[in-house]
Structure 1
Amino acid sequence: MFFWILVAVLTAAVAAVLLLPLLRAGGRSNVDDANDAEVYRDQLEELKRDEAAGLIGKAEAELARAEIARRLIAATAREGASKDGRQPASARRRNLLAQALIIVVMPAVGLCLYLSAGHPELPAQPLAARLANPGSDVNILIAKAEAHLAENPDDGAGWDILAPIYYRNGRIEDSANAYREAMRVLGPSAARLDGYAEALIALSGGIVTKDAREALQQSQALDAGNPRTRFYLALALEQEGRRDEALAAFEALAKDSPADAPWLPLVNRHVAGLSRGEQAKPPGNPDAGQVAAADEMSPDDRRQMIAGMVESLASRLQEDPDNFEGWMRIIRSYAVLDQRQAAEDALRTALKNFPPQSENGRQLLALAGELAIKVEGSEQ
């Protein structure tokens, strides 16, 4: 009810503003007509003086006098009608028509348009639903969601939806915090624990830290068959130097995966590498001591460590551009460091070695989509 009262008041105010000039139109006409008549009388006197001084011929003077007299008569007639409170019929009709449009048509058209396009009684759309369909204004939507969550920190659904959006936009620390908040309100689930662990791994430059490993183990207890959880736990074993256990874990995951599973090529590469006695390492090939130290580092120290490893990996990729795993890691690491241009440049270079139509190329493009990295021509 309050909404419609407000609409009525605003409509009346707008109509009054528009009607005021029309209601005053008659008064202004009266003044204008009086001024016109006075001007024409002055012109007649001036014409008489010019004729007496010989500045204008008699024939020309007669023609000019007739035209000025005609205009004077018309202006005098309008002035008399205005003094009587009347306007010319055509002017009155236009004035009344304009008033009718403002009073009747304008509110009616506005109301019809609102009833067809607006829904004042529609309840507010849940935050989760708005975030699930962000359209092209992702940054604006994130800002609105953040404002909402600042006032409603116990909106678990909001945190749950916002966390992966943060991750895709390279805001990894914010993503990890959002996952923590979602679990605080809604409790842990396999998806939340995996997302949280993945954010921690990204923050550590690909290292499965102690906190990430604990989250993954908790996720596995909730969903033992989750391939995402199994992959990262196998990767943790590999990084710890437990080659046989890591190989067995990757082989079991490959066996249980469908033939067209998108993660299968990556799993098979780990299997092949471990079978040859190789050990996958994060950017820069940190040793076991560095991996262990990453658990105890502050975010700033860990960030500096990642930057050093990324610089080392970039040098190695210049020497060995066919290192697909290296390109995947360095692109993700650049995103974690918020070096978006460097990530785009790395993706563009990687796609020269691994065309978008190839399996590796498709994985690079999938990673770019996950991290919201766009490179012109990458889809070609």
Structure 2
Amino acid sequence: MLILVLTCVLISAALIALAALWQRFSVPAPELAHEKALYRGFVADVERRVAAGEIDAEQGQEEQAQAARALLKVSDTAEETASFKPLYGYVALGLVAVLSAWLYLFTGHPDLADQPYRQRLQAWTTIAKSDPDSLSPQKMAAVLRQGQVEHAREVDYWLFLGRIDMMAGNNYDGAQDYQKARALSPETFTAWSELGEALTFVGNGTSGREARQALQNALKLNPNDPRAHFYLGQRALEDGQYEDARGHFNAALNAMSPDDVSRPQVAQALAAVAPAEAAAKAMSERISGMVASLEAQLAADPENADGWARLLRSYDVLGHKPARAKAETAMRAHYARRPEIIADILTKAQTRVGSEGEAK
């Protein structure tokens, strides 16, 4: 605290010193008489331009009026400057610094509790009791979370809180809420698709597998669950299972009412299946052509180590496991006495090696 006070005092002194230096070395403002002379010259120039036809009379009057207003402003400033006492300015600066420090010490130091948020939360709680629809999902989630101890064993509480958290964009919290509901009632838990949706947004890896399982459980309970079909369709599309993706998206659309706000999103996803399938087919044909070329080159020149790596990689991309195993057997037989080259080829086969169409 002492360091803070000393800092405020030093800041005050620095402000006063800067003000004194500015007052001492600043250039004096022009005299009012000089401004009047400039005004008269400007008016004379305007009159000359009007007479010469360079501007019309109306524009000339407007420019003279603007110049007059500028002169009046300079006159007022000159009077204020003449009545200003530098000492008053120094004292004012010092008072501002001291008052700022005082306000911080009593209203903003880190030791104070977060009273404004508590007050806002109390206000939101009051509004939730009388007009809950007026609260944003973020505020409603904060209000509901106050009851997590009191309602810890209630499935409906966690389901509702999960939905509000998802609406608020708190996907991780929403997933946790649904997990608690599932833990309380694993056999009767009916919001599997909501859990799957939350887990889909949370992340990949384990969450991704759990999301798929939750969505599949949702379809076991309700084969016409549009949410479960939509997210399973998305996963099928990502995995290149285009017929499955079409089936899930169509099932979702058939289960939705005509005025469902989510229909355009599902329809857009369904429309994206065909282009994705066509692109994947074109890529597969390109890789197949490259594979045939590589096989011919390796038959003629089996010393092409990078060629073997590209061939194995291509079979992995195509998903041709038997062909891949056959090629690896041939490669190992050729380099049987050079295990270090075999290891290098297998390592390179895990990543792209040069250009896919390049032959060596």
TM-score for the superposition, normalised by structure 2:
0.36
Structure with greater contact order relative to length (CA < 8 Å, sep ≥ 6): 1
TM-score for the superposition, normalised by structure 1:
0.34
